[in-house]
């Protein structure tokens, strides 16, 4: 048995390979001691670690675990997933949307960090709580689907009011910029606010990602990360905004486990 673990700031992502089959599971990072106790029951397993809490997790287990740099592990995991999907990309940008977002350029052999943003799952949860007092991530993502962003976000089409626009009318001119225009005529529900949160996070991540893609002269952008889990609206915002800006988005099933799979692959290759 081989176990790859990406011990992040919010979630611990675990990939288990046994008899050539991969399975996945995750636990909150606050439960790292429970993960360590589980690993202790598997003394014969080969363990590979990555992520910000990897060194701490190593201190809790008896295994002499392989450790890798998080960015390299994520890149290797993405490559592994792309190979399984028969997707061949010579060069691309990938955005790992976890608690925050890290953006990288990959040329098929190596990765280079191109930047990042504090917009990500942490912002979704924090801003959603401040606006609605909701704390459950699944409830936030589900209710956001019913919200109306156009009440809250100012779009280019709102400014031009039917006139021809110099840029696509569905582009956001100002996130939350329509609130004052509608404050006397409309009620902003919790669902509307949550939809707007997904909008500002998704558009921020996408804008920075495609700027990186333009700089590195590629049209391909791969999106992964735990923020997309059960989050159809965030995925839709990112997908639509990437296409609207003229780039090609890719979402990888189980992509949030790229770090866990990648550190395991790097262990195999070491």
Structure tokens at 145: 């689907």
Tokens at residue 250, please?
A: 């890719």
Task: Kindly name the residue from 17, 34, 70, 203 that is annotated as catalytic.
Answer: 70
Give the pair of three-digit tokens for residue 43: 């003394």
φ, ψ of residue 183 to 5 degrees: the values are -65, -25
Largest CA distance in the chain: 68
Contacts of 80 (CB under 8 A, 6+ apart): 258, 261, 262, 265
| Beta-sheet pairing, 46-50 with 2-7 | parallel
CB distance 148 to 195 below 8 Å: yes
By CB atoms closer than 10 A (0-12, 13-18, 19+), residue 265 is: buried
- The CA distance from 157 to 170, in Å, is 6
Which tokens belong to 102? Answer: 């890290």
3-state secondary structure of 115: strand
Q: Which of 98, 106, 94, 132 is nearest to 201 (CA)?
A: 98
Confirm whether 70 is a catalytic residue: yes
Return d(Cα 129, Cα 258) in angstroms, integer. Answer: 29
Strand-strand pairing, 101-106 and 2-7: unpaired
Catalytic residue positions, numbered: 70
């Amino acid at each position: 048995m081989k176990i790859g673990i990406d011990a992040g700031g919010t979630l611990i992502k675990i990939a288990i390979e046994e008899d050539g089959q991969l399975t996945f599971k995750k636990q909150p990072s606050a439960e790292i001691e429970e993960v360590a106790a589980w690993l202790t029951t598997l003394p014969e397993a080969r363990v590979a670690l990555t992520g910000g809490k990897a060194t701490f997790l190593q201190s809790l287990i008896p295994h002499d675990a392989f450790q890798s740099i998080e960015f390299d592990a994520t890149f290797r995991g993405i490559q592994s997933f792309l190979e399984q999907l028969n997707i061949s990309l010579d060069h691309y940008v990938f955005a790992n949307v976890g608690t925050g977002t890290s953006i990288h350029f990959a040329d098929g052999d190596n990765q280079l960090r191109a930047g990042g943003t504090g917009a990500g799952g942490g912002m979704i949860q924090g801003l959603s709580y401040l606006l609605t007092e909701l704390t459950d991530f699944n409830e936030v993502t589900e209710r956001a689907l019913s919200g109306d962003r156009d009440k809250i976000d100012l779009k280019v089409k709102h400014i031009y009011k039917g006139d021809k626009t110099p840029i696509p009318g569905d582009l956001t001119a100002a996130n939350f910029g329509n609130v004052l225009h509608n404050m006397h005529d409309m009620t902003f529900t919790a669902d509307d606010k949550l939809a707007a949160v997904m909008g500002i996070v998704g558009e921020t991540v996408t804008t920075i990602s495609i700027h990186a893609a333009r700089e590195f002269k590629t049209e391909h952008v791969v999106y992964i990360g735990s923020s997309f889990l059960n989050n159809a609206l965030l995925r839709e915002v990112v997908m639509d905004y990437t296409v609207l800006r003229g780039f090609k988005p890719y979402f990888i099933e189980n992509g949030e486990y790229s770090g866990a799979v990648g550190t395991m692959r790097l262990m195999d290759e070491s």
